Amino acid sequence: MAKQSRRSEFLSEVGNISAFTGKFFREGFKPRYEWSELFRQCYIIGYESFPLVGITAFIMGLVLTVQSRPTLEEFGAASYLPAMVAVSIVREIGPVITALICAGKIGSSIGAELGSMRVTEQIDAMEVSGTNPFKYLVVTRVIACTLMLPILAVLADGIGLYASYIGVNLKGIVSLNLYKTQVFESITFSDVMPALVKTYFFGFAIGIIGSYKGYFSNKGTEGVGIAANSAVVVSSLMIFVIDLIAVQIADLLGLT
Partner 1 sequence: MTKTTNNIKLGLFVTIGTALLIIALYLIGSKQHLFNDSVKLNAVFKNVDGLRNGNNIRFAGITIGTIEKIDIITDSLVVATLLVDKESVKFIRKTSIADIGSDGLMGNKLINISPGEPGSAVVIENDTIYSLAPIGTDGLMRTLSNTNNNVLDITQDLKQITKRINESHALWDLLADTGSTKKIKSSIQHLETMTSNANTVAADVESMVKDIKNGKGAVGKIISDEHTAVEFETLLKNLRESSDTAKLALHHMHEFMRDLNITPGPLGVLARDTAMANDMRSMIHNMNNSTATLSENMKALQGNFLFRKYFKRQAKKNVSGK
Partner 2 sequence: MSNEENIVVSTQHLVKSFGENHVLKGFNLELNRGENLVVLGKSGSGKSVLIKCMVGLLYPDSGSVSVFGKEIPSLTQLQLDELRTKIGFLFQSSALYDSMTVRENLEFPLRRHWKHKTKDEINELVMEALRNVGLERAVDLMPSELSGGMRKRIGLARTLILKPEIMLYDEPTTGLDPITGREISNLIVAIQEKYQTSSIIITHDMECAKIVANRIMILIDGLKYTVGTYDELKKSNDPNIKPFFA
CA 235 vs. chain centroid, Å, equals 9
Distance CA 147, CA 45 (A): 10
Q: Which is nearer to partner 2, 92 or 127 (CB)?
A: 127
User: Residue 192's binding partner, choosing from partner 2, partner 1, none, with beta-carbon cut-off 5 to 8 A by kind?
Assistant: partner 1
Nearer to partner 1, 50 or 58 (CB): 50
DSSP 8-state class, residue 238: H
For partner 1, give the closer residue by CB, 33 or 50.
50
The option from partner 1, partner 2, none interacting with 184 (CB < 5 to 8 A, set by class) reads partner 1
Q: What region does 236 belong to: left with phi over 0, alpha with psi -120 to 50, or beta? A: alpha
128 binds, among partner 1, partner 2, none (CB under 5 to 8 A by kind): partner 2
Closest residue by Cα to residue 164 from 70, 251, 71, 83: 83
- In the chain, where does DSSP find H-type helix? 2-28, 35-42, 50-74, 81-88, 94-102, 108-119, 122-128, 133, 140-170, 176-186, 189-215, 221-252
DSSP state of 201: H
- Nearest approach, Cβ of residue 207 and partner 2 (Å): 17
Sequence-distant (6+) residues with CB within 8 A of 238 are 205, 206, 209
The residue (of 156 and 224) whose beta carbon lies closer to partner 2 is: 224
Cα first-last separation, the chain? 45
Question: Which residue of 5, 129, 173, 177 would you call a contact of partner 2, by CB under 8 A?
Answer: 129
List the single partner that 10 binds among partner 1, partner 2, none, CB under 5 to 8 Å by kind: none
Where do contacts with partner 1 occur on this chain (CB under 8 A)? 36, 39-40, 42-43, 46-47, 50, 150-152, 154-155, 157-158, 180, 184-185, 187-190, 192, 196
Q: Which is nearer to partner 1, 66 or 159 (CB)?
A: 159
Q: How far apart are CA 211 and CA 21, in angstroms?
A: 10
Question: Which one of partner 2, partner 1, none interacts with residue 120, CB within 5 to 8 A by kind?
Answer: partner 2
Return the residues of window 69-128 that contact partner 2 according to CB under 8 A.
113, 116-117, 119-122, 124-128
Q: Is 175 left (phi over 0), alpha (psi -120 to 50) or beta?
A: beta
Q: Which is nearer to partner 2, 6 or 30 (CB)?
A: 30
By the criterion CB under 8 A, which residues form the site for partner 2? Answer: 113, 116-117, 119-122, 124-132
